[in-house]
Amino acid sequence: MTAHEAVHPGAVLAQAMAFQPARLVLTGIEIGLFTELAKKPATEDEIRERLGLHTRGTDHFLAALVELGFLERSSSGEFRNSRAAQQFLVPGDEGYLGGFLRIAGQVMYPAWDKLGEALRTGAPQAATYTGEDMFGELYESDEKKDGLVGMAEDASRPLIPALTESFGWAKYSSVLELGGCRGNVLAGLAKAHPHLDACVFDLPQLEGDFSAHMSAIEMAGKVRYHGGDFFADPLPQADVLMIGHALVDWNDEQRKQLVKNTFDAVRPGGAFLVWDPVIVDDDESYLRNLIRSLNLQLMTPHGKGYRFEQCAEWMREAGYAEVTHTSLGHDVTLVVAHKD
C-alpha cells in the first residue's frame, strides 16, 4: 500500500479483508472443487450435485473464483479450472501446491486467528500438537505426518532446479542433508549430479516413508538414509552438509548449536549450505518473509525467521571461513559457508 493509496478506504479494506478471498481459494481446495473440475468441466447444477453443495451461495462462490482467476466459465455456462488452478491445485501435477494449501486452510488459518495471543505470550497456536516435541508428536499420527511431509515437499519442490545449479556440486563428492525428510530434494539433486554420494539425515520415524518414496520415484539405492537427532547425535561426515527449510524451525540458541554441530562433520575444503526464507532488507521478499516468520511463530514451539547477517555470524562462530548468499527464487536464500 503506497502513501497515496493509504488515504483510500478501498486500499485499507483490501488488505484488512484479504482473509475472504484467501478463504474462497482454500475452501475450493477443501471441498475438492478443483480436483472435480479436472475430471470434467461442469455446470453449477452439476457441481452442486457432485460436491453436495446448497443452492444458496454456490453461484456467487463460483463466480467469485472466476473473478479471482481460478475458474473459467464458458458461454454455455460450464465451469473449468483456469490454467493456474489446473497446474497448482490438482493432485498429481508437478507443480501441485494443494498439500501445502490444505494444511494452510486446516491448521494455519485457525492459528492466525490467534495472532494476538501469540504476540502477547510468544506461545505457538497450532492445534495439532501440545508440547515441545512438535515433530515427535506429529509423527505419531500418519495423517499429521503426511500433512507435514506434503506441506514441506510442496514448499521445497520448486527450489530443486535452482539448488542444483546455484552451487558448484561438481567439485564435491558427497552430501548429507539434515532434516532431509523423505529425500525428495536430495533425490532431485542426485539425479542432476549422479556422481554425488547422497544421504538424508532425519528422525528415525521417517525412514519407512523415505524408503517408500525412493522406490516410488525410482531412486531406491541412489540416496541413503541415516536416522538420528541432529541436536544430540554425531553427524556422519560429508564434503557438503546442507539443511533446508529447517533452521527456521528453531530459536537462535538451537540454531547456533546446530550450525556448530555441522562443523566437525564437514570435511576440510567442504561447505555447509542453508536455504530458508531468510529476511533480507530491501529485497522484494522482505514483507512475505516477515509474514512467514510470524507463521513459524504460530506453528512451531520456537521457530521464527532470521536475517542473513545472523546466519553468517553463527557460521563464523562455528569456525567456517567465507560466507556468501544467493537467491534460489521463491523468497528463499541459499547461504553458503566454506570450511578451509
Ligand X SMILES: C[S@@+](CC[C@H](N)C(=O)[O-])C[C@H]1O[C@@H](n2cnc3c(N)ncnc32)[C@H](O)[C@@H]1O
Q: Where do contacts with ligand X occur on this chain (CB under 6 A)?
A: 135, 152-153, 156, 179-181, 184-185, 202-203, 206, 229-231, 244-246
Smaller CB distance to ligand X: residue 103 or 152?
Answer: 152
Rounded least distance, CB 290 to ligand X, Å:
19
Rounded least distance, CB 19 to ligand X, Å:
24
Smaller CB distance to ligand X: residue 177 or 239?
Answer: 177
Q: Which contacts (CB < 8 Å, 24+ apart) does range 178-181 have? A: 178/202, 178/230, 178/235, 178/241, 178/242, 178/243, 178/246, 178/258, 178/262, 179/230, 179/243, 179/244, 179/245, 179/246, 180/242, 181/149, 181/152, 181/153, 181/206, 181/210
Rounded least distance, CB 36 to ligand X, Å:
28
CA distances from 40 to 33, 37, 43, 50, 80 (A): 11, 5, 10, 11, 8
Question: What grid cell was written down for 77?
Answer: 455456462
Cα separation of 279 and 320, whole Å? Answer: 21
Smaller CB distance to ligand X: residue 77 or 329?
Answer: 329
Rounded least distance, CB 215 to ligand X, Å:
18
71-73 vs 174-178, strand pairing mode:
unpaired
Rounded least distance, CB 178 to ligand X, Å:
6
Residue nearest ligand X, CB atom distance: 179
Smaller CB distance to ligand X: residue 38 or 181?
Answer: 181
Smaller CB distance to ligand X: residue 15 or 251?
Answer: 251
Smaller CB distance to ligand X: residue 81 or 261?
Answer: 261
Rounded least distance, CB 173 to ligand X, Å:
21
List b or e across 163-175, with b for residues whose CB sees 16 or more CB atoms inside 10 angstroms. bbebbebeebebb
